[in-house]
Chain A
Amino acid sequence: DAGITQSPRHKVTETGTPVTLRCHQTENHRYMYWYRQDPGHGLRLIHYSYGVKDTDKGEVSDGYSVSRSKTEDFLLTLESATSSQTSVYFCAISAMNTQYFGPGTRLTVL
């Protein structure tokens, strides 16, 4: 299970509104990741973090920002949501060079 929770689990929002998704882990892992999952694309990395206040961009980072002010929380923010950001968002941690995933957040942008 890796002690990962995500909130909210489901969200419907309107185009242009800001949205923040939260990933919380209980096991003090250094590395955390945000992916989005879309049909036909598998999972694509949005941003990742290698420590508190240390973050970097992934493959599909445009329109997203992240923050990590404490080890256990990694926040993903859509500054101004667009319909193309409708997706399922998964958080992951890395332990022993293996990534483990949270339950996901289904985001719908109308």
Chain B
Amino acid sequence: AQSVSQHNHHVILSEAASLELGCNYSYGGTVNLFWYVQYPGQHLQLLLKYFSGDPLVKGIKGFEAEFIKSKFSFNLRKPSVQWSDTAEYFCAVTPNYNQGGKLIFGQGTELSVKP
């Protein structure tokens, strides 16, 4: 069965620190990959996605992610975090042959940024 693993459950950083959140998936075929963010009390919002092409994708709010096929990874990065980045971050995967495909989510990583 497909699964998605996010290595860190809770990350605490100071403002201006760099961020990298790990995401690994288990699926042998071609996948679509997503990162979503959930600010406190809000719904999930799409940060960025990868379907094909350049494995380094840029999203909103200065986030980027790199797809490394050989490692089945899709790690999220930001060079300098802000207090407003405090949120929960979810990695998700779906096979890309699957129109309207069901997403498999990781457990989430809670990011706390100290001012």
- Chain B residues within an 8 Å CB radius of A90: 43-44
Which residues of chain B from 58 to 79 have a CB within 8 Å of any chain A CB? none
Chain B nearest Cβ from A32, distance in angstroms: 9
- Chain B residues within an 8 Å CB radius of A30: 100
Chain B nearest Cβ from A1, distance in angstroms: 10
Chain A nearest Cβ from B39, distance in angstroms: 12
Indicate if A100 sits at the interface (CB-CB under 8 A).
yes
Determine whether the beta carbon of A58 is less than 8 Å from that of B100: no
Determine whether the beta carbon of A44 is less than 8 Å from that of B43: no
Interface size class of A (residues with CB under 8 A): 20 to 34
* Contact A97:B108 (CB < 8 A) given known A43-B90, A90-B43, A102-B43: no
Indicate if B82 sits at the interface (CB-CB under 8 A).
no
Indicate with 1 or 0, residue by residue over B89-100, a CB within 8 angstroms of chain A CB atoms.
Answer: 010101010011
* Distance A97 CA – B49 CA, assembled complex (angstroms): 10
Which residues of chain A from 57 to 110 have a CB within 8 Å of any chain B CB? 58, 90, 94, 97-104
Of all chain B residues, the one with the shortest Cβ separation from A99 is B103
- Chain A residues within an 8 Å CB radius of B9: 40
Indicate with 1 or 0, residue by residue over B28-48, a CB within 8 angstroms of chain A CB atoms.
Answer: 000010101000001111100
